[in-house]
A = this chain, B = another copy of it.
Amino acid sequence: MNNQATESTKTKKTKRNYYRKPAVKIFALGGLEEIGKNMYAIQYGKELILIDAGIKFPDADMPGVDSIIPNIQYLKENKHMLKGIFLTHGHEDHIGGLPFVLRELSAPVYGAGLTIGFVRTKLEEHGLLGSSELHVINEESVIRFRQLKVRFFRTHHSIPDSLAVVIETPHGTIVHTGDFKFDFTPTEQATDWGQMAKIGRSGVLALLADSTNSEKPGFTPSEKAVGRAIRETFRKCDGRILFATFASNVHRLQQVVEAAEECGRRIAVIGRSMERAFKIGQELNYIRPSKHQLIDVRQLDRYPDHEVVIVCTGSQGETNAALTRIATGAHKHVSLYEGDTVIFSSSPIPGNTQNVYRSIDLLLRAGAEVVHGSIFDIHASGHGCEEDLKLMLRFMQPKFFIPIHGEYRMLRKHAEIAEQTGTERDNIFLLRNGQPLHVTRHKARVGKDLPAGQVLVKGSTTNPWEETIMEERRALGTNGVLIVVLTIDPKQNKMIGRPELITRGFVYVRESAEIISAGTKVVRTTVRLLQRRKKFIAQQWEQKIIERLTEYCETTMDRTPVVMPIFSYVEQPAAAGDQE
C-alpha cells in the first residue's frame, strides 16, 4: 500500500517519533444503527474534518418534535480543531443539519455544485448565508490541511453531484463513499472507473460505506431503465400526466423533460421544493427544457390535456405537498378529473407507506389512473444493493472496514459482504454513534465513547430535549388531564369552599357532569381525611388526591388521566380563623 510504504520508510529513521504519532480517530455523530442525520468525523491530532451534517424526521411517537439532529457537543468542545465540513451530496439526511451546526460553530463548507446550490437556499432561509464560507468543489479538487488532505471521486446516487470523500492521513487513506450505487448505463455524470481503481490500488486503510440496501440482492437498476419506463408510460397516456418524485432527483427531472419533449407535452412545475429544484437544476444545466417547454401552472387551461405534464412534490404522501393537496381537492390551481394519470416515480420510505396509500386512494377516487412503483419499473433506488457493495469493496480492498448509513441489521449484512470480498473479519467494525475507532496503519481499536446521540429540535431551536417532557406529553396525549383546584387555608389545614374539577381531553361532554360530580365527592372524602391531620403538608395532600382520583378513574372508566391538584392559598388565614 502506497501511502503506508512512504510512512514506513520515514518511520525507520525516527522510530520513536512514529510511535508517538497519534492514531486517526474515525467516528460517527449520526448515521450508524439508523437511517438519517448522517454525520461522520475524521480526526488526526488537532485536525478534525466532518463529513455531512444531516437531519432526520421524527416518528409518530415523538410529539411536538420537528426534526432530529446529531448531538454536536463534541464539536462544540473542540471548535478549534474543526477544519472543514465536506458534504457528499444534497439530500436532507446529509445537509439538513447544517444550519444548526453553523449556528454554533464556524467552518468552511465544501460540496459539489448542486449540493452547494441546495445548501445556499437552506442557509438563506435560516439567515446564515452571509456568515458562512461555502466552496464548490469537484472530483478534481484537492483540499490540503496541515496533516490531512482531502480528495473526491464521483459516485452515482439519486441526486446529481454525489461525491465520495478520500482523506489522506499520515497513517493511510480513508475513503467515505457517501450514498452510492453503480450505474453501468448512467444518464450523465459517469463514474471515473480508472480513478476509483487507482485509489484502491494505492491502498485504502479504512473504508466507510453506505449500507442502506445491503439486504437486497443483485445490482440496483440503472436510471436509464427508469427513463425507458417513463417514456413508455407517457406514450400510453391520452390525458394529463401528473408526475410526482423527489425534487432532489434532478437527473430524473431531466428524464421527464426529455420524455415530455418526445410526446409534445409542456411542463408545469408545482410545489416549492420542486420549483427550487428546477431553478437550480437549470442554472447548473442539469435540467434542459426546450424553449417554451416550461409553462406556468395558471396557463394549464390553454393547452389540451394530452399536451401537458404536471411535475409535482408529494410522492411520499406528505400532508402539505402539492400532490396531496390536489388529491384532497385543496389545490388552488389544479383539480383532478377522469382521464388524468398520476405517476409516482418513487417508493415509499417505510414510515410513509400508509400516507402514500392514502394519497393513491384519494387520487383513484377523484377519477385518476395511478401508476406507482410497486407495480411498474418507474423508480430505481439510489443506494447500491449487495453486488454494488461488493464491487465497491473490490475496488477499495480496505484493510479496515466500517459499514455506515443503516440500521443494525443492514450494517451487519454489509459486514458479512465485506468478509466475503476479502476484508479480515477482525478488521471489520460495527460501531455505534459516538464510538471512535482509533486507526493506525497497523491496527485499529475501539476507543472510549464520545458524547453522541440525538438532539430533538422544534422550529429552529437546538436545545436538547428532555425525555421527561416527552413522557409527560405522551401521558397527556393518551388520556388527557384532570385538574383539581382547591382553596386551602394552610394554617388551619383546611379546605375553603369546594374543590373544582376541570378536564381536557379526558371525558366526553355527555359523561362529563356525572364524572365531575362523582370525582368531586372523591376529593371531598379524601380532604376530610387529610384535614384530620395536625399540619398541612402540600405534598401529602397532592399525593393522596392523585392516588384517590387515579384509582377512581381507573375503576370506573378504565382510563387514567394525568391528575394535577392545584392549591390556591387564602392570604390571611389566621384572620379568617380568628373571626369564627
22 A-B residue pairs with CB within 8 Å: A63-B479, A215-B374, A364-B412, A458-B559, A459-B559, A460-B558, A465-B508, A466-B508, A469-B508, A472-B504, A475-B505, A476-B476, A476-B481, A477-B477, A481-B481, A483-B566, A485-B485, A485-B566, A500-B566, A500-B568, A566-B566, A568-B568
A375 within 8 A of B: yes
Chain B residue contacts of A496, Cβ below 8 A:
571
Q: Which residue among A361, A481, A505, A510 has the maximum number of chain B CB atoms within 10 Å of its CB?
A: A505
Contact of A504 with B478 at beta-carbon distance under 8 Å, contacts A60-B61, A409-B357 already known: no
Chain A 553-580 interface 0/1 with B at a Cβ cutoff of 8 Å (1 = within): 0000111001010101011000000000
B59, B409, B507: which contacts A354 (Cβ < 8 A)? B59
Contact residues in B for A466 (Cβ distance below 8 Å) = 508-510
Count residues of A near B (Cβ-Cβ below 8 Å). 67
Interface string of A460-496 (1 = CB under 8 A from B): 1101011011101111111111010101000000001
CA distance A564 to B353 in the complex (A): 37
5 further A-B contacts with Cβ under 8 Å, apart from A459-B559, A504-B564, are A63-B479, A461-B557, A473-B505, A483-B566, A487-B487
Give the docked Cα–Cα distance between A559 and B33 (Å). Answer: 30
Within 8 A of B (CB), among A90-111: none
A127: interface (CB < 8 Å): no
A interface SS class = mixed
CB neighbours (8 Å) of A500 from chain B are 566, 568
When the two chains form their complex, are residues A357 and B407 in contact, meaning their CB atoms are under 8 A apart? yes
Integer count of this chain's copies in the complex? 2
Contact, CB under 8 Å: B354 / A353? no
**What are the 10 closest A-B residue pairs judged by CB atoms, nearest first?**
A477-B477, A459-B558, A472-B505, A60-B60, A476-B476, A473-B505, A361-B408, A568-B568, A63-B477, A64-B478
Query: Chain B residues with Cβ under 8 A from A460's Cβ?
Result: 558
Contact A568 B485 (CB under 8 A): yes
Contact residues of A between 429 and 484, Cβ < 8 Å to B: 458-461, 463, 465-466, 468-470, 472-481, 483
| CB closest chain-B residue, reference A33 | B361
Interface flags, A199-222, vs B, CB<8A=1, else 0: 000000000000000010000000
Cβ–Cβ < 8 Å partners of A360 in chain B: 409
Chain B residues with CB below 8 A from A476, complex form = 473, 476-477, 480-481, 504-505
CA distance in complex: A351, B358 (Å): 13
Residues of A within 8 A of B (CB): 33, 59-61, 63-64, 215, 350-351, 353-354, 357, 360-361, 364-365, 370, 374-375, 407-409, 412, 458-461, 463, 465-466, 468-470, 472-481, 483, 485, 487, 496-497, 500, 502, 504-511, 557-559, 562, 564, 566, 568, 570-571
Contacts of A571 in B (CB 8 A): 496-497
Q: Of all chain B residues, which has the CB nearest A509?
A: B466
Cα distance, A479 to B64, chains bound together (Å) = 6
A409 near B364 (CB under 8 angstroms)? yes
Beta-carbon nearest neighbor of A353 in chain B: B350
Interchain CB contact under 8 A, A474 and B477: yes
In the bound complex, CA of A397 to CA of B405 (Å): 52
A215 touches B407 (CB 8 A): no
Q: Which residue of B lies closest to A458 (CB)?
A: B559
Cβ–Cβ < 8 Å partners of A469 in chain B: 480, 505-508
A108 to chain B, nearest CB (A): 29
The answer to whether B463 touches A511, judged by C-beta atoms less than 8 angstroms apart, is yes
Give min CB distance, A20 to chain B, whole Å.
37
Residues of B within 8 A of A408 (CB): 361, 364-365
Q: Nearest chain-B residue to A348 (Cβ)?
A: B350
Q: Which residues of B contact A61 (CB under 8 A)?
A: 60
A354 touches B350 (CB 8 A): yes
Q: Contacts of A374 on B, CB cut-off 8 Å?
A: 215
Which residues on B sit within 8 Å (CB–CB) of A407? 357, 361
User: CB within 8 A of A477: which of B33, B215, B478, B483?
Assistant: B478
Q: How far is the CB of A25 from chain B (nearest CB, A)?
A: 24
Give min CB distance, A11 to chain B, whole Å.
39
Tell me how far the C-beta of A563 lies from the nearest C-beta in chain B, rounded to whole angstroms.
11
If the complex has contacts A477-B478, A480-B472, A568-B487, are A409 and B361 also in contact, measured as CB distance less than 8 A?
yes
Question: Whole-angstrom distance between the alpha carbons of A564 and B564 in the complex?
Answer: 13
* Measured CA separation A300–B278 after assembly (Å): 63
Instruction: Report B-chain residues with C-beta under 8 Å of the C-beta of A479.
Output: 63-64, 473
Residues of B within 8 A of A508 (CB): 463, 465-466, 469
A477 and B485 within 8 A (CB): no
